[in-house]
Structure 1
Amino acid sequence: MKEINQLKEFVEECSHIVFFGGAGVSTESGIPDFRSVDGLYHLKYAYPPEQILSHSFFLRNTEAFFQFYYDKMLYPKALPNITHKKLAMLEESGRLNAVITQNIDGLHQMAGSKNVIELHGSVHRNYCTKCGHFYSLQEVIDKAPIPLCSCGGIIKPDVVLYEEALNEDIISKAITAISSADMLIIGGTSLSVYPAAGFIHYYSGSKLVLINKSATPMDSNADLLITGSLGEVMESLI
């Protein structure tokens, strides 16, 4: 495949690669894509998922929030797929500088990636909204239906909900990584979630690679566009 060969050439020529990924990175691990036909946005609940996963809903309807969170947001048995593993290998080889992810599943770290910038937080970090004590994912699962701290406070997942701002330090790290990259690979994302999707505009190089099954607003800007399975494409690397 011509595109795959071009991708391999790009990778061999670069030593400051950054990968920017979305939900499509983890679908091959059994974690559904929010916006796909079978994704969470197409399931029927008493409230739309966007509303349930909002800061105000968390405060007002805590029990309903956690019911949805436990049912649809947690996949503790999910394992890294070929994309996660190949990215960890690229980092180990010294070519990949950072993984910037919109996902909250922690699979990049599980695969061995060290420099992972989590734009939207992680289900593996949870903190008491009253005393600040941190809890693991398993501890939160064990405390269903509403995880409460020993002090009585509600334990909140350290994930960015709708109506919440991204962490300024995380934003800074993402922009710095992208702006200094000699190659930016965007994979498994529709680039429709802002402000995260806007960060890719800080890339000024000539090797912008876009790998996704469906069209994105940035397709015409890509130096290399590959329409297809991210896992199949990544499997061809190193």
Structure 2
Amino acid sequence: MEEGGFGAIKGGDRAYEIEQKYGYSPDELFTSGFYTARPMQFFEFYREEMLKNIPEATESGTVMAQMERAGKLQCTISSNIFEQGKRAGCQNIIYLHGSIYHNYCPKCGREYPMEYLRDAKGIPACESCGFPIRPGVYLYGEMVDSGLLSRAVDEISKADVLLLLGTNLTSEVFGNYIKYFGGKYLIIIHKHSHYLDDTADMVFLDHPRNILPLLGYGED
């Protein structure tokens, strides 16, 4: 997420700043329990920290969209909640952690766009039944939808080449999926070296935005 203009909220200075600002740590704020018990405080945090200054699509995403159109990229599996890949032009994306753009009423199922939550005063409520709107992202501690998991495993298992961008083989998000890869080449592009890098067929120690454009996929 850092390359996409969004730093992790759970660690470092940002976590400290959030706790000082809201009186709770990100681990407490970004949970379904907090959404249920303290919706006013939850949405204050969610609007300020998630829905304001949404990061733009990245150069990496643009190149990946070009690769997809050229038939060289079959699927992207992402933990990004801002749909940066889609906004860059990618079509076949699995968003494991959901999206800020697809929200719903947990009581009646009515759907709401991101702008409805962002612009609401106080708690954004369903216009049909008055229930607090549920953000379309997975909160800390929640299980990812089994359908998304199955799709991710299926795509990885049938891939000839697996490209890991900005992550490593012990990633909290992707580590459990990589074991399903049985293709020919594992390629990693990330900034910092990792002790399991040697198990990959190719490793580039740099930001993906600096490496992917070198593949030669220009504008259509």
Q: Under a length normalisation based on structure 1, what TM-score does the superposition of the two structures give?
A: 0.81
Aligned length: 211
- 2:78 counterpart of 1:101: yes
Identify the residue that residue 157 of structure 1 maps to in structure 2. 135
Equivalent residues of 2:10, 2:26 under 8 A apart? no
Q: How does 1:158-173 map to 2 (within 5 A)?
A: 158-173=136-151
One-letter amino acid of the counterpart of residue 175, structure 1: V
One-letter amino acid of the counterpart of residue 100, structure 1: I
One-letter amino acid of the counterpart of residue 17, structure 2: L
Identify the residue that residue 181 of structure 1 maps to in structure 2. 159
CA RMSD of aligned residues (A): 1.9
Gaps in structure 2 of 5+ consecutive residues: none
- How many Å apart are 1:236 and its aligned residue? 1.1
Identify the residue that residue 112 of structure 1 maps to in structure 2. 89
Deviation sequence 1:170-198 (CA, Å, 0-9, x none): 1011000011111111112355324x431
Higher relative contact order (CA 8 A, sep 6+): 1
Equivalent residues of 1:66, 1:145 under 8 A apart? yes
- 2:68 counterpart of 1:91: yes
Q: Given the alignment, which residue of 199, 202, 219 partners 1:224? A: 202
Identify the residue that residue 143 of structure 1 maps to in structure 2. 120
Identify the residue that residue 193 of structure 1 maps to in structure 2. 172
Equivalent residues of 1:83, 1:235 under 8 A apart? yes
Equivalent residues of 2:189, 2:208 under 8 A apart? yes
Q: Distance in 2 between matches of 1:101 and 1:159?
A: 13
- 2:54 counterpart of 1:80: no
- 2:15 counterpart of 1:41: yes
Question: For residues 52 and 77 of structure 1, do their structure 2 counterparts lie closer, same or farther at Cα, with a shift above 3 Å needed?
Answer: closer
SS in 2 for 1:155: coil
SS in 1 for 2:159: coil
Question: For residues 209 and 193 of structure 1, do their structure 2 counterparts lie closer, same or farther at Cα, with a shift above 3 Å needed?
Answer: same
Gaps in structure 1 of 5+ consecutive residues: 1-22
* Identity score, percent: 31
Identify the residue that residue 55 of structure 1 maps to in structure 2. 32
- How many Å apart are 1:37 and its aligned residue? 4.9
Question: For residues 144 and 182 of structure 1, do their structure 2 counterparts lie closer, same or farther at Cα, with a shift above 3 Å needed?
Answer: farther
Equivalent residues of 1:31, 1:75 under 8 A apart? no
Q: Under a length normalisation based on structure 2, what TM-score does the superposition of the two structures give?
A: 0.88
Q: Distance in 1 between matches of 2:103 and 2:158?
A: 32
Q: Distance in 2 between matches of 1:206 and 1:35?
A: 35
Equivalent residues of 2:64, 2:73 under 8 A apart? yes
Question: For residues 77 and 102 of structure 1, do their structure 2 counterparts lie closer, same or farther at Cα, with a shift above 3 Å needed?
Answer: closer
SS in 2 for 1:186: strand
Equivalent residues of 1:104, 1:159 under 8 A apart? yes
Choose between structure 1 and 2: higher strand proportion. Answer: 1
